Amino acid sequence: MKTNPIQTTEMHTGGEPVRIIENGYPDIQGQTILDKRRYARKNLDHLRKFLMFEPRGHFDMYGVIPVTPDHPDAHIAVLFIHNEGYSTMCGHAVIALGRYAIDKGLVKAVEPETQVNIQCPCGLVKVFVEIATGRVRFESVPAFVFARQKLVSTTNYGPVEVDIAYGGAFYAFVSADQFGLDVRQSKTNDLIDAAEQISEAVKSQITITHPDDPDLGYLYGTILTDGNDEFSDQPTANVCVFADAQVDRSPTGSGVTARIAIQYKKGQIKKGQDRLFESVTGAQFSAKAVTETTCGPHKAVTVEVSGIAHYTGTSSFVYEEGDDIGAGFLLS
C-alpha cells in the first residue's frame, strides 16, 4: 500500500539544493511561525527525514515547507529543513523562493522588479526579483556581532579565536589559516573536521542568546573564511559547515549577512559597498550593508544579499507500507 504522494519542485542556488514542498504535507499547527517550527519538530519530524534522508535525499539535502503566515505583511511563510532539523533562516532558499513565488503566481509579477515578502522563523525578509533575469536580492533581518575575538578550546587545535555573529542564524567565524587550511584548496573533509571542532567548542563554552526569542539563540554552524575581510573588488571565499556537519554549496546567504555585520563592525567595509562572496562550488553572492539599526542591546545592520537560483525538476515521493529502509536513513 502506498501513501499519498508528497510533491515538490526542485531548485538549487549555487549548487545548494532547495526542495520546495507543494502538496501532500500535513497541516502544521501553531499561532506563530516559531510555534509551527516547534510543532513540526515534535510531531512531523518523520517527514523531514523521509524527504531529506536517503533514498530520496542525501546527507547535505535542504528543503522548504510553506506554512500559513502570521505576519500581516508576508506574502508567504516557510520553514526550513535539513539533515539535523529546522533552521531559522536560509538565504540560498530565500533566493530560490523569490523566483519561485513569481513563477508560480503566488505574487503578481510587476516589471522590472517585484517585491516578495517572505516570513521566515527569524522574521520578515524582503525579497526583490528581477523579472527579466530571475536574479534575486533580499534584505535581511537585523544582523549583529554577538562576540568578537573569543578564545575557545578545541580538541586537536588548542585555543582558537572566533567571532560570532547573527544574520538570521548564529555562526562562528574563523580564518581557515588558523588550522593550516585553505578554503579553496583543502579537502572538504578536513574543512568539515575543523569547523565541527569549532562548533562543538562554541556550543559547550559560550552561551548564545537572541533578544527577540529564545528559539533563535543557538549556534547554527561554523564558517571558515580565507581571511580576506578588508574591502576589495576581488571575491572572498568561505565555506559553511552547519547542522550535523552539512556543507553548504552556496556562499550561505545568512552567513554572508553575518559576515558583513562583522566587517562593518570592524570598519572593514562601508555602508553601500558591494562585496563578492564565493563558495566551494565557485558560486558567488554579492552583499552590502544597507541600514544601521538595532536588535535589542546590539548595534545592527540590515544587509542586502543577491544571487540567482535555477530549477532542476519536480518530484513525487511515496512511501510503501513495510519499507522500513525507505522511511529514511543516513550513512555515518
Nearest to 205 by CA among 146, 152, 158, 147: 152
Q: Angle formed by the axes of helices 253-265 and 91-103, to 10°?
A: 130
Task: At 186, list the grid cell.
Answer: 583543502
User: Which letter does DSSP use for residue 2 in this model?
Assistant: B
- Nearest C-alpha neighbor of 331 from the set 105, 60, 13: 60
b/e 111-150 (16+ beta carbons within 10 angstroms → b): eeebebbbbbbbbbbbbbbbeeebbbbbbbbbbbbbeeeb
329: DSSP letter: B
Active site residues: 90
Render 140-188 in DSSP notation, one character per residue.
PSPEEEEEEEEEEEETTTEEEEEEEEESSSEEEEEEGGGGT--TTTS-H
List Cβ neighbours of 103 (8 Å cut-off, separation of 6 or more).
none
